[in-house]
């Protein structure tokens, strides 16, 4: 294991523990000496990682530390490229442009050998299908999700009948042929999904919905997916 890989493993190990973990326990799990552990902890701190603790007390990583691109492994770069390619080819124009910008930013800060790995990734996303066109601005939907804002829509169901809805959006699902907004529907009193090609006039309110987005996501997972409308 290279030193960079060892530092990455130590960082990920600290992230898994929310409470202080002892130095000997960290060293045993990583298969290194306690002296090497202390040097690695000092190296991570020098790179900006807020690691609290001392010998005999244990160590804990405070949130907020961003892993330097230098620490990315070749497999992680392949995973990143695959994900960015998928988003670029299949997401809405706003996210597709962001994926391209992100790739350029990452390539610009990677060391030369890692940048070459990124430019010649071994993983490739297959050709996308062409999803039905969105009838709503998904960038605005993402903003509503982040701000917990109610959206008022006219929705056309499978039978062609349209209904007025007030929804609490919490996610967007991207599929090969269609995109879906996952939301709590006030009319139906439950979680539903709404195809973006069937949404008619839409009004983005400034009204915050009362539920926590994380709770809606938890409920969705418990129900094993979204119920159709």
Structural domain spans, the chain? 3-69, 72-119, 138-222
pLDDT digits 0-9 by tens, 175-203: 878 899 999 999 999 999 999 999 989 99
Q: Is 138-222 assigned to CATH 2.30.30?
A: yes
* pTM for the whole structure: 0.64
- Tallying the residues shown for the chain, one arrives at 229
CATH architecture of 3-69: Orthogonal Bundle (1.10)
| Local confidence band at 67 (pLDDT 50, 70, 90 cut-offs) | low
Q: What are phi and psi of 165, to 5 degrees?
A: -130, 150
pLDDT digits 0-9 by tens, 93-128: 899 899 888 888 888 777 777 777 777 777 777 777
Cα–Cα dist 162/88, whole Å: 32
In the chain, what percentage of residues exceed pLDDT 70?
Answer: 93
Residue closest to 148 by CA, chosen among 63, 217, 62, 209: 209
pLDDT of residue 33: 94
pLDDT of residue 65: 63
DSSP 25-60: HHHHHHT--HHHHHHHHHHHHHTT--EEEETTTEEE
Cα–Cα dist 178/176, whole Å: 6
């Amino acid at each position: 294991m290279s030193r960079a890989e060892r530092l990455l493993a130590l960082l990920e190990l600290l992230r898994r523990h929310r409470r202080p973990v002892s130095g000997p326990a960290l060293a045993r799990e990583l298969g290194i000496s306690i002296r090497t552990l202390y040097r690695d902890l000092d190296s991570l701190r020098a790179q900006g990682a807020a690691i609290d603790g001392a010998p005999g007390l244990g160590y804990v990583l405070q949130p907020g530390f961003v892993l330097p691109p230098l620490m990315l492994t070749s497999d992680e770069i392949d995973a990143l490229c695959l994900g960015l390619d998928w988003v670029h080819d299949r997401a809405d124009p706003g996210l597709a442009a962001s994926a391209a910008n992100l790739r350029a930013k990452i390539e610009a800060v990677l060391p030369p050998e890692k940048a070459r790995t990124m430019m010649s990734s071994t993983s490739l996303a297959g050709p996308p299908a062409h999803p039905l066109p969105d009838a709503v601005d998904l960038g605005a939907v993402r903003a509503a999700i982040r701000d917990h804002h109610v959206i008022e829509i006219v929705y056309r169901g499978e039978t062609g009948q349209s209904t007025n809805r007030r929804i609490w959006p919490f996610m967007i699902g991207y599929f090969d042929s269609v995109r879906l907004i996952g939301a709590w529907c006030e009319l139906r009193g439950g979680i539903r999904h709404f195809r973006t090609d069937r949404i008619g006039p839409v009004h983005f309110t400034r009204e915050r919905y009362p539920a926590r987005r994380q709770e809606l996501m938890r409920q969705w997972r418990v129900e094993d997916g979204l119920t159709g409308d």
